[in-house]
Amino acid sequence: MAFTVTTDKSGVVVVAVDGQLIVGNRQDLKQKVLDALEKGGRKFVIDFTRTGYIDSSGLGVLVSLSKKIRELGGDLRLAGLNEDLQTLFELTKLDTLFSITRTPAEALAAF
């Protein structure tokens, strides 16, 4: 399974991306986050520790989810980007749009 959703004891929804986040599976991620929003989740961490690569449509989905979550008064954080993925976020200036932490634990601690 590419996306694993868990909720920690304080209600933060953590979505782990296993493999890639690209044009062929981005809608699955979007739907999983929208479902969690529907159920009342407002704090989200997307964990990229086990992610190989992300394409621009994957980035696009993160942008749209981030907007949606903010509109509902929530917060989305990204964690676990490897050096290559970090480069991709810097290249596209999306590092300025997202709150990015080194590990999911740091993201959880920052809420």
**Nearer CB in complex with another protein: 6/53:** 53
Choose between 30 and 106: whose C-beta lies nearer to another protein.
30
Which of 83, 99, 101 is closest to 91 using CA atoms?
Answer: 83
For residue 98, the one-letter residue type is: F
Residues that bind another protein (CB under 8 A): 19-20, 22-25, 52-57, 59-61, 63-64, 67, 84, 87-88, 91-94, 96-97
Nearer to another protein among residue 12 and residue 66 (C-beta): 66
Give the shortest CB-55-to-another protein separation in angstroms.
Answer: 4
**Shortest distance (Å) from residue 6 CB to another protein:** 24
**Inter-CA distances, 9 with 14, 32, 46, 75, 104, Å:** 11, 19, 17, 17, 14
